[in-house]
Chain A
Amino acid sequence: MRPTNQTKKMVYGIVIVALLVAMVPYTQRLNRIKVEKDLGEAAIGQIDSGSFMMKLFLLGGFRGIVANYLWIQAEDYKKNHDWDRLKATVDLITKLQPHFLSIWTFQGWNLAYNVSVEWDAPEDKYEWIKQGIKFVQEGVRNNKRSPDLMWDTAWFYYHKLGFSDESIILRRLFRDDEDEGFKTYTDAETGQDLVRNDNFQLGYGWFSNAVKLVDDGGTRLGGGTSADITYIDPTPQRKGRADDIAFRSMPSHAQTHYAAALEKMSMAGVEATFGEVAKNEWAKALREWEKFGQHKFLSHNVVMRDGKLVKDDVYLDDSTNPEKYKTLPENAQYWTDRWASQMNYRYWKERCQAEMTSDGVAARQMFYEGTKAYKTGDFATAAAKFRNGLDVWNENLKKFPTYREDDLNKKDTGLVVKRYVRVLRQLGEPVPDTLPFKDLLAAAEADNTVDPFDAIEMLGVGAGETSSAPPPSQPRAAEAPAAQPQPGQ
């Protein structure tokens, strides 16, 4: 007998239900493995339901094709200078491939560096840098295990805002930005959210977090994943490898730049800060350098010790501690010395030590006030401030020979000496023979470069708000014709 339509339907129904039931234990098993190997989406980063829906329902297997198409389109938009459509397209790609690191790194960099540079006004540049930073931060939210993206975020705050040609204006725009979310970082030690007004502080915060993530064993997909998984196409991790010395030095660098930026007009129109605030920030910078110096690195080579081939422990801080340095085996000495020089560790440490003293901050303040007086033509004040400052600075630096002999410091101090001599010339006074740092004068006279990160040098003392004029709202009249034609002539 042939099965009737009814029977057929029932059989199909039963098969469907049976298959679904069979799926249940299988799904449970898969979930269990996911948890074991830490492979779930939630483990990688935040779950975005919109992105998930789009991938699952709208595109299915076409996801790759669509993503490819969007990449091509994004490059086309870039070529045609259609920046906002580029941004919208890039956002769409991230919805399709939220855990693909290259899109965040590549396009975040694209927005913050390549797009921003195409815009002429600093306000617009700032806006695109902000878009780029926020973009890569979104990447961090989606890939919580990636030190790379965290490091990129920090780098954009630190480098793109802090070291551009327009930094003095960009940093000011950052300070004035009312978007608190953009100015927040999570403190690596306390886990508190902190809002800060200086991009170097944000850089410090994010760099510290990247370092912390590495210290906590966080590598992309790494945590919890058992060793028996071999990735066919492992995600490359650029930052935070065990021997990445530069990676670990970045929090200290960012903190040092923050302290240094406090003591000059590093934001257009914002006066420098001295006193206890500056001292504290320099002290914090020193702590950061010491922390970096006390991190254990392993030498690249192996040596035979007690019949075993081992790598030596290397601490960069030993280079500033002669007693301990002497006790080190020759191989460890070699690597300590080499890496300390490579990182210019002695300079940075000693600079912080020199700058954090009361004398150091006082001298800086006098230099700053002297420069302002010099630039406004108040030579008497300038002469007094420069002279006092140089004396205090000289006393202070006697304790820090490395820093004293450093080229950067020589250049800074030389500039003050040069200006002091010019002021004396204006006042008709002779240059005293007892003038400290007089030896720096010749080099300073030959050097005409200015500090691009000091608004007083770049824009002058009154460097406050310089902005493009607002668009005209009133119609302007045409000039009268040379000879106004008279009707009826």
Chain B
Amino acid sequence: MPAFLIPPLLWAQAATPPPPASPAVRNALLWLYLAGDTSLAIPGLIGALLTWAKIIGLVALVGWVGSWVATAVKERYVGVGRWYDYLGLLALVLIPLTVFVQVMQTEKWIRAVSIAGTPLASLMGYVAVVSLAIWALVGVWKTIGPFGRPADKLVLVGLGLALALGAGVGVAMVQLGLFTQIPGAPEATWRDGVVYGARLAVTYMGYVVLARILSLLVGELFSVRARRLYAIARVTLYESNRKMWAPWVVLIVFGMVLAFTHWFLQPPRAAEMGRLYVGTLTLLCSLLLTAMVTILTPISLPTDIQQQTIYTVVTKPVRRLEVIWGRMLGYMALVTVLVALFGGISLAYLWRTVMGEITRIEALAEKAKADGREREANQYSEQAEQLRSRMAARVPVKGSLSFLDSKGDPHAMGIDVGQEQSMKEPRSHIEGATAGAAIWRYGIVPDPFSPPNRPVMIDRRIDVAQFLPAGTVEGEQNRMLEVQAQIAAAEQEKSQQGVTPARASQLDAAIARQKADLDKAKASYESLAARADELAAAGKEDEAAALHAPPLKIEMTFNIYRTTKGEVGKPVYADIEISNNAVGSKFQDVFPVREYYTNRLIVKPDVLVGCLGSLRIDVRCMSPTQYLGMAESDLYLLAENGDFGWNYMKGLFGIWLQAMVLTAIGVFAGTFLSWPVALLTTIAFFIAGQLAFGFLIDFTRQAVLGGGPFESLIRLVTHDNQMSELAPTAGVVVAKTLDSLVMPIMSMLVYIVPNFQVLDVTNTVADGFAVDWRHMLGNTLLAFAYALPFSFAGYFILKNREVAA
């Protein structure tokens, strides 16, 4: 799979002689391939949009064909015993039969048979698919005639063209020898090309239908009016308020839980109190809001339809899309108010409890110190410090981590000591008192996981101006050195051969300008430095410090793996060395590692001066026979300590996004289901997306231990474990056949069920790190990517439905 993530690279690695095709054709084929293969996702915004379009297109295609076939059946154009109906029946029988044959072959019940070079199972599959396609085509064809508009006929033509295009692309890829490189088939015939092309064609067909749907939507979108949306939103808001007292119920439950938190949460260790409380409070907000939305949204439309109050709306000139969006807006207005209230209340609560705890612990530390209990005093002040640092929004600047092993050889990972740990970002270890080191590099550095002969560079530059602000001694000194470096680069470029006269004069002008800059920077640096020295000499340390850049803070969280106890009570020591190779300055320190605490190092900011964004930090373990473990996020420069309250609200915004997606689903379900079913559907979506999404992904990857639902059922009943192969009895084979039929359909769910987990950023907030704006923007886009299609689907259903029946 990772190889597929970088197809252009694969493309470039042609092992076979380069195919005789022009670059334009190759590029066109590449894009057609990228746009057509659904098993492929490229990183970045374009890639995400493409994947989104593919999925929406496929869903649209299924919906479009499905609706026409349904009409065909309803109008008795198909399913009446004509020749094509027998084809449909054949497909219906052949599909399970094919899977059954396939399973019997894998279970070695029957030998694998090939007919004319094609395996029997594949052949049966082709026949089934073609029969089904013909049956569906006849149905659509016959119905579109009397019922369809000209545009629908055009779509049918488009589908034909898409099929031809797909087949053409498939065959062309085989002909040009590209096929073997991408889909990974050892040898490709034109038949493989056609089959693969057919797969691509389905995606292209999806695009055609998507285009048709977009054309239908455009008109509707332009007729949406804000005042009508507002009116419906207002009614929705009133309704949820009056009918269900929803906001009040939720608020009261929230207040109740807060009032009795001590029943649910024992007072934890002081150091982690903030994290636990923030985690619990955000979980509570999330549960209450999503529960409210899940219950409110799917009920409203069906009740309106059932009680016929919908007449009062649909008989007015209100667009159906406005009915949907208005509702969503109304609910989201409610959610917004509640999020603001929850945020305010919980922040006040956190302030009272956590800040109170900090004061308490600090008082204890003072007392312990006064009593001469040094160990306890240190412990208390460390805990207070931990708590305080979690109640902030820290912005970390992370480097790229690589290791030296005990012999001093470079590696991407350190030693695996075999400790059980989280696999999200596993720590690896360095051996104490050896050449082993962990190195964090800043700047444009090679990705340690890329092969050394073809390194992929990653940008981990430090924004030096952030640490050394202009107008401080170090800031000005840094500017001076930066300008100097620019001049040197320009002069080097000028001295190279082959510089055009125009470029040379351009460079001259730049150098002159930069020299002026340099003089200015130098002057301001010297005056600032002189003033700072004067103030320091006069004993005004505070004023002198104000002229300097703030100290550089480095935070570290390492873990310790002891092979011997060592001396009782003696910590493991680490050595840190910060090198600024651009100017050759260095900083070194030895500190005791405190496991599971944030180790802080405060360094004078000069070490960054003139580094041009590059820095290298080496950490070594000093204590022999002990190991120090780290992952990339375990050491970072602390850029700023943002406001916790603001960050907390950003965390709640993630919950707001979850509620929005859920609202879209609820309203969508309400458009065609009765309220109890709609309610269950929404709950199912929520559970699948929030609790079971990881499981769904495993499902798609066929990585579920113990097989699909039917096989699992057998294991459950027979008390068999998940690992052992089941004996191929008739029951097992039938179960596996059923699984093979059900699993592909169920694994499609992963494309439709929203990934609620990823929208939740409250863990970052609880850990005391700032939520990045880019991350929030990405999440917002993702939420809209889920919510909009659901609302549109709801619109189409509502539009084609007899609401007044």
A residues touching B (Cβ–Cβ < 8 Å)?
48-51, 53-54, 79-85, 87-88, 91-92, 95, 118-124, 127, 131, 165-166, 168-169, 172-173, 176, 178, 268, 452, 458-459, 465-485, 487-488
Q: Does B493 contact A (CB under 8 A)?
A: no
State whether A91 and B265 are in contact (beta carbons under 8 Å apart), knowing that A465-B375, A472-B601 are contacts in the complex.
yes
Contact B518 A488 (CB under 8 A): yes
Q: Does B585 contact A (CB under 8 A)?
A: yes
What's the least CB distance linking B693 to chain A, in Å? 16
**Chain A residues within an 8 Å CB radius of B142:** none
**Chain A residues within an 8 Å CB radius of B378:** 123, 467-468, 470
State whether A471 and B480 are in contact (beta carbons under 8 Å apart), knowing that A91-B266, A477-B606 are contacts in the complex.
no
What's the least CB distance linking B236 to chain A, in Å? 29
Map CB proximity to A onto B273-317 as digits: 1 under 8 Å, 0 otherwise: 001100110000000000000000000000000000000000000
**Chain B residues within an 8 Å CB radius of A173:** 375-376
What's the least CB distance linking B402 to chain A, in Å? 23
What's the least CB distance linking A373 to chain B, in Å? 23
9 tightest A-B CB contacts, nearest first:
A50-B263, A475-B551, A84-B272, A80-B422, A478-B607, A481-B585, A478-B587, A120-B595, A481-B584
Contact B264 A479 (CB under 8 A): no
State whether A169 and B592 are in contact (beta carbons under 8 Å apart), knowing that A80-B421, A477-B604, A481-B584 are contacts in the complex.
no
Q: Which of A95, A127, A168 contacts B264 (CB 8 A)?
A: A95
- Expressed in whole angstroms, the Cα–Cα distance for A84 and B578 within the complex equals 33
Contact A479 B560 (CB under 8 A): no
Q: Does B757 contact A (CB under 8 A)?
A: no
Q: Does B463 contact A (CB under 8 A)?
A: no
With both beta carbons as reference points, the residue of chain A lying nearest to B268 in the complex is identified as A84
**Chain A residues within an 8 Å CB radius of B268:** 84, 87-88
State whether A476 and B260 are in contact (beta carbons under 8 Å apart), knowing that A83-B596, A131-B269, A482-B584 are contacts in the complex.
no
**Chain A residues within an 8 Å CB radius of B391:** none
State whether A166 and B568 are in contact (beta carbons under 8 Å apart), knowing that A475-B551, A487-B522 are contacts in the complex.
yes
> Could you write out 8 A-B pairs with CB less than 8 Å apart?
A50-B264, A79-B421, A118-B595, A120-B571, A120-B572, A166-B569, A176-B375, A459-B567
Q: Does B618 contact A (CB under 8 A)?
A: no
Q: Does B602 contact A (CB under 8 A)?
A: yes
State whether A479 and B588 are in contact (beta carbons under 8 Å apart), knowing that A50-B260, A79-B422, A470-B378 are contacts in the complex.
yes
- Expressed in whole angstroms, the Cα–Cα distance for A201 and B446 within the complex equals 61
B residues touching A (Cβ–Cβ < 8 Å)?
260, 263-266, 268-269, 272, 275-276, 279-280, 364, 372-376, 378-379, 381-382, 385, 420-422, 480-481, 484, 518, 522, 525, 551-552, 559-560, 562, 565, 567-572, 578, 580, 583-589, 591-596, 599-607, 610
Contact A123 B375 (CB under 8 A): yes
With both beta carbons as reference points, the residue of chain A lying nearest to B594 in the complex is identified as A121
**Chain A residues within an 8 Å CB radius of B551:** 475
What's the least CB distance linking B361 to chain A, in Å? 13
What's the least CB distance linking B154 to chain A, in Å? 53
In the complex, the number of residue pairs spanning A and B with C-beta atoms less than 8 Å apart equals 166
**Chain B residues within an 8 Å CB radius of A82:** 422
Contact A165 B276 (CB under 8 A): no
With both beta carbons as reference points, the residue of chain A lying nearest to B560 in the complex is identified as A120
Q: Which of A118, A131, A480 contacts B585 (CB 8 A)?
A: A480
State whether A488 and B568 are in contact (beta carbons under 8 Å apart), knowing that A50-B263, A173-B376 are contacts in the complex.
no
**Chain B residues within an 8 Å CB radius of A468:** 378, 571, 592, 594
Contact B376 A459 (CB under 8 A): no
State whether A169 and B568 are in contact (beta carbons under 8 Å apart), knowing that A84-B268, A476-B603, A478-B586 are contacts in the complex.
yes
State whether A120 and B594 are in contact (beta carbons under 8 Å apart), knowing that A50-B263, A79-B420, A88-B265 are contacts in the complex.
yes
What's the least CB distance linking B353 to chain A, in Å? 15
What's the least CB distance linking A134 to chain B, in Å? 9
Most buried by B among A173, A471, A488: A471
Contact B265 A120 (CB under 8 A): no
**Chain B residues within an 8 Å CB radius of A467:** 374-375, 378, 569
State whether A476 and B610 are in contact (beta carbons under 8 Å apart), knowing that A119-B596, A166-B568, A471-B382 are contacts in the complex.
no
Contact A268 B385 (CB under 8 A): no
**Chain A residues within an 8 Å CB radius of B602:** 472-476
**Chain A residues within an 8 Å CB radius of B592:** 468-469
**Chain A residues within an 8 Å CB radius of B266:** 87-88, 91
**Chain B residues within an 8 Å CB radius of A172:** 375
With both beta carbons as reference points, the residue of chain B lying nearest to A474 in the complex is identified as B602
What's the least CB distance linking B25 to chain A, in Å? 51
Contact A84 B480 (CB under 8 A): no
What's the least CB distance linking A244 to chain B, in Å? 32
**Chain B residues within an 8 Å CB radius of A471:** 382, 385, 599-600
Contact A476 B382 (CB under 8 A): no
Q: Known pairs A92-B264, A120-B572, A120-B593; list 9 more (Cβ under 8 Å).
A: A122-B569, A124-B595, A165-B565, A169-B375, A459-B568, A475-B605, A476-B589, A477-B587, A478-B606
Most buried by B among A268, A468, A482, A483: A468
What's the least CB distance linking A87 to chain B, in Å? 6
State whether A483 and B584 are in contact (beta carbons under 8 Å apart), knowing that A169-B568, A173-B375, A465-B375 are contacts in the complex.
yes
Contact A85 B276 (CB under 8 A): yes
- Expressed in whole angstroms, the Cα–Cα distance for A49 and B264 within the complex equals 11
Contact A95 B600 (CB under 8 A): no
- Expressed in whole angstroms, the Cα–Cα distance for A452 and B591 within the complex equals 27
Contact B587 A476 (CB under 8 A): yes
- Expressed in whole angstroms, the Cα–Cα distance for A86 and B170 within the complex equals 54
- Expressed in whole angstroms, the Cα–Cα distance for A283 and B525 within the complex equals 79
- Expressed in whole angstroms, the Cα–Cα distance for A475 and B279 within the complex equals 33
- Expressed in whole angstroms, the Cα–Cα distance for A173 and B374 within the complex equals 11
**Chain A residues within an 8 Å CB radius of B589:** 476
**Chain A residues within an 8 Å CB radius of B421:** 79-81
**Chain B residues within an 8 Å CB radius of A49:** 263
Q: Which of A48, A91, A123, A485 contacts B376 (CB 8 A)?
A: A123
State whether A478 and B578 are in contact (beta carbons under 8 Å apart), knowing that A123-B376, A472-B600 are contacts in the complex.
yes
With both beta carbons as reference points, the residue of chain A lying nearest to B578 in the complex is identified as A478
- Expressed in whole angstroms, the Cα–Cα distance for A121 and B276 within the complex equals 22
With both beta carbons as reference points, the residue of chain A lying nearest to B265 in the complex is identified as A88
- Expressed in whole angstroms, the Cα–Cα distance for A150 and B588 within the complex equals 52
- Expressed in whole angstroms, the Cα–Cα distance for A466 and B589 within the complex equals 21
Contact A466 B603 (CB under 8 A): no
Contact B263 A51 (CB under 8 A): yes
Contact A124 B596 (CB under 8 A): yes
- Expressed in whole angstroms, the Cα–Cα distance for A87 and B267 within the complex equals 10
- Expressed in whole angstroms, the Cα–Cα distance for A91 and B605 within the complex equals 45
With both beta carbons as reference points, the residue of chain A lying nearest to B375 in the complex is identified as A467
**Chain A residues within an 8 Å CB radius of B567:** 459
**Chain B residues within an 8 Å CB radius of A92:** 264
Contact B610 A485 (CB under 8 A): yes
- Expressed in whole angstroms, the Cα–Cα distance for A473 and B378 within the complex equals 13
**Chain B residues within an 8 Å CB radius of A120:** 560, 562, 571-572, 593-595
**Chain A residues within an 8 Å CB radius of B580:** 478, 481
**Chain A residues within an 8 Å CB radius of B570:** 466
**Chain B residues within an 8 Å CB radius of A51:** 263
What's the least CB distance linking B629 to chain A, in Å? 10
State whether A95 and B565 are in contact (beta carbons under 8 Å apart), knowing that A81-B422, A84-B269, A467-B378 are contacts in the complex.
no
**Chain B residues within an 8 Å CB radius of A131:** 269
Q: Which of B279, B522, B568, B603 contacts A85 (CB 8 A)?
A: B279
**Chain B residues within an 8 Å CB radius of A474:** 602
- Expressed in whole angstroms, the Cα–Cα distance for A172 and B372 within the complex equals 13
- Expressed in whole angstroms, the Cα–Cα distance for A88 and B603 within the complex equals 37
What's the least CB distance linking A388 to chain B, in Å? 31
With both beta carbons as reference points, the residue of chain B lying nearest to A473 in the complex is identified as B602
**Chain B residues within an 8 Å CB radius of A88:** 265-266, 268, 276, 280
With both beta carbons as reference points, the residue of chain A lying nearest to B595 in the complex is identified as A120
What's the least CB distance linking B394 to chain A, in Å? 16
**Chain A residues within an 8 Å CB radius of B272:** 84
**Chain B residues within an 8 Å CB radius of A268:** 569
Contact A121 B571 (CB under 8 A): yes
What's the least CB distance linking A445 to chain B, in Å? 25
